[in-house]
Amino acid sequence: MQNQNPNQNGKSIQNPAMQIPKTPQMNERDFVNDMLATEKYMTSSYTTAIHEASHQHLYDDLLAIYTETEQAQRNLFNLMFQKGWYKLEAQDEQKIQQSYQQHVGYTNQFPYNGGMQ
């Protein structure tokens, strides 16, 4: 993976963007972005199907397909990130800690002594 350099304002994490010609036709970035959107939709749909599967063999088959789809989604994300077509917003440590503390507090609402089983 290439270096992950914050942009000028220090808030984004992104690789240098690969230049794509601007034409009316779909380019490589458009195709990969479309494939990523499709994989995200399929992963979400398989999640619903897995939760509603009434037969163990059907559940096992759907889970295997879901796992493959999730891996394809991750590979497409990594490809887009490496080519600089997908950026992430950086957060400062204080905001991360505040969010963590907020969500840790939610564990008190869980049954079974504040933990998960």
Exposure string for 48-60, b = 16+ CB within 10 A, e = fewer: ebbeeeeeeeeee
- Among 28, 42, 30, smallest CA distance to 74 is for 42
Residue 6 included in any domain: no
Structural domain harbouring 36: 27-85
Residue 91 included in any domain: no
Residue 67 included in any domain: yes
Residue 42 included in any domain: yes
Residue 22 included in any domain: no
pLDDT tens digits along 23-34 = 788 888 899 999
Residue 115 included in any domain: no
pLDDT tens digits along 19-65 = 777 878 888 889 999 999 999 999 999 999 999 999 999 999 999 99
Residue 103 included in any domain: no
Residue 2 included in any domain: no
**Number of domains, the chain:** 1
